[in-house]
C-alpha cells in the first residue's frame, strides 16, 4: 500500500520535529571536574529526555546548592537554581501549580540530607509526582571538603581533621522508613547502562521517585569507590520484571545478582542496609500510594489567562492611582 502525499508530508514533518540529544544540551559547558560522577548523571538525563521526547517547554529541573545543583544550567529546558536545601519545596510548588510539567529535582548529600532534611522527609510523605536524583559523593564538594551527613566515619575533612565522628546517614533506609514512600532505587555512576535504566524507571513511576546515585568525586574523594570499581562482585544487581532487566553483556561482568521483588518493603529495607556489596537497582515500588498533587488539585486550570488575571488582581491591591 502506498502512502498519500499528505500522509508522507506529515510523516516527514514528524521526523523533522524529533528532538536530538543535542537539543537538550545547553550552551553552557559543565564546570564539573574531569571524572566527576555528575557528568554521568547528566548524560543519562539528557538521554532520557531524548528517548521520551520530552517537550523542553514542559520540562523543568529544580536544584538547591552544591556541585550537583549546577545541573539546571546544563539542560536546555526550564530550570530553577534555588537556595541551599530548598529544592524540594520549590519543586512541589511548581508541580502543584503546573501539574502538566515534567518535574525533576537534582540535589546533593549535603543539600538534601542536612539543611534540606526536613523538606526531604515531608516530600516523601507528600508523594508528589516528580523524579528526585540524590547525587551522593559522601562529602561537601562545592565548599571544598567538609564532612557531609553521608561521609564515612573516620573521614578526615576540613571540618573533621581527626576524622568524622559519627556513623553516616543512610539515605535509602531513611527514605524507606517514611510513610507513603512509593519508589526508591540506587545507582552508581560507573555503570551508565543501569543508571539510565533506573532514571527511566523513576520517571515512569507515578509519585515521588527517589534515586540515590553513588558518585565519584575525583577532587576530594578520589579513591573511595576503587574497591567496587576493581571487583565486580562487590556490586549486587537487583533484578525483577517490575524492576530492571540486566543485559547479557552486563551479566557477564556483574554476576552477583539477586531476584528482588520491589513490592517487598521489608526485604527492601534489609537490602538498603547493606553497604558491601553495593545494591544497585529498584529497591521498592508501590504505585498505589496517593499523590498529594492529585488530592489537592484545583478545579480551575492554570491557563495563562487565569494566571494573568490573578496577578493583576494582586498588583491592583498595591497600585497607587493618581488623584482624579
Q: pLDDT tens digits, the chain, 324 residues: what are they?
A: 555 666 655 555 545 689 999 999 999 999 999 999 999 999 999 999 999 999 999 999 999 999 999 999 999 999 999 999 999 999 999 999 999 999 999 999 999 999 999 999 999 999 999 999 999 999 998 888 899 999 999 999 888 999 999 999 999 999 999 999 999 999 999 999 999 999 999 999 999 999 999 999 999 999 999 999 999 999 999 999 989 999 999 999 999 999 999 999 999 999 999 999 999 999 999 999 999 999 988 776 777 788 788 889 999 888 888 887
CATH fold for domain 22-317: Rossmann fold (3.40.50)
Q: How far apart are CA 12 and CA 16, in angstroms?
A: 6
Cell 527511566: give the residue: 200
Domain edges within the chain: 22-317
Peptide bond into 188 cis (omega under 30): no
Euclidean distance between CA atoms 111 and 134, whole angstroms: 9
Amino acid at each position: 500500500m502506498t502512502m498519500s502525499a499528505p500522509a508522507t508530508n506529515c510523516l516527514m514533518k514528524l521526523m523533522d520535529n524529533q528532538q536530538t540529544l543535542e537539543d537538550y544540551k545547553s550552551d553552557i559547558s559543565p564546570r564539573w571536574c574531569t571524572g566527576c560522577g555528575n557528568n554521568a548523571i547528566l548524560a543519562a538525563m539528557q538521554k532520557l529526555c531524548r528517548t521520551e521526547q520530552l517537550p523542553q517547554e514542559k520540562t523543568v529541573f529544580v536544584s538547591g546548592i552544591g556541585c550537583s545543583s549546577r545541573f539546571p544550567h546544563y539542560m536546555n529546558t526550564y530550570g530553577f537554581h534555588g537556595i541551599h536545601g530548598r529544592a524540594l519545596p520549590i519543586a512541589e510548588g511548581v508541580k502543584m501549580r503546573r501539574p502538566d510539567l515534567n518535574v525533576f529535582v537534582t540535589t546533593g548529600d549535603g543539600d538534601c540530607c542536612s539543611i534540606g532534611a526536613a523538606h526531604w522527609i515531608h516530600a516523601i510523605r507528600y508523594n508528589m509526582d516528580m523524579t528526585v536524583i540524590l547525587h551522593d559523593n559522601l562529602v561537601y564538594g562545592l565548599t571544598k571538603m567538609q564532612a557531609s551527613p553521608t561521609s564515612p566515619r573516620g573521614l578526615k575533612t576540613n571540618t573533621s581533621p581527626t576524622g568524622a565522628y559519627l556513623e553516616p546517614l543512610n539515605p535509602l533506609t531513611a527514605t524507606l522508613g517514611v510513610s507513603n514512600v512509593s519508589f526508591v532505587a540506587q545507582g552508581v555512576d560507573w555503570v551508565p547502562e543501569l543508571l539510565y535504566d533506573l532514571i527511566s524507571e523513576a520517571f515512569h513511576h507515578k509519585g515521588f521517585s527517589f534515586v540515590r546515585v553513588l558518585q565519584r568525586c575525583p577532587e576530594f574523594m578520589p579513591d573511595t569507590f576503587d574497591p567496587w570499581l576493581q571487583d565486580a562482585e562487590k556490586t549486587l544487581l537487583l533484578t525483577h520484571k517490575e524492576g530492571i532487566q540486566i543485559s547479557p553483556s552486563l551479566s557477564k561482568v556483574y554476576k552477583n545478582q539477586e531476584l528482588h521483588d520491589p513490592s517487598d518493603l521489608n526485604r527492601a529495607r534489609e537490602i538498603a542496609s547493606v553497604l558491601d556489596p553495593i545494591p544497585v537497582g529498584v529497591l521498592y515500588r508501590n504505585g498505589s500510594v496517593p499523590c498529594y498533587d492529585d488530592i489537592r488539585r484545583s478545579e480551575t486550570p492554570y491557563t495563562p489567562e487565569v494566571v494573568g488575571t490573578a496577578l493583576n488582581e494582586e498588583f491592583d491591591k498595591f497600585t497607587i492611582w493618581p488623584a482624579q
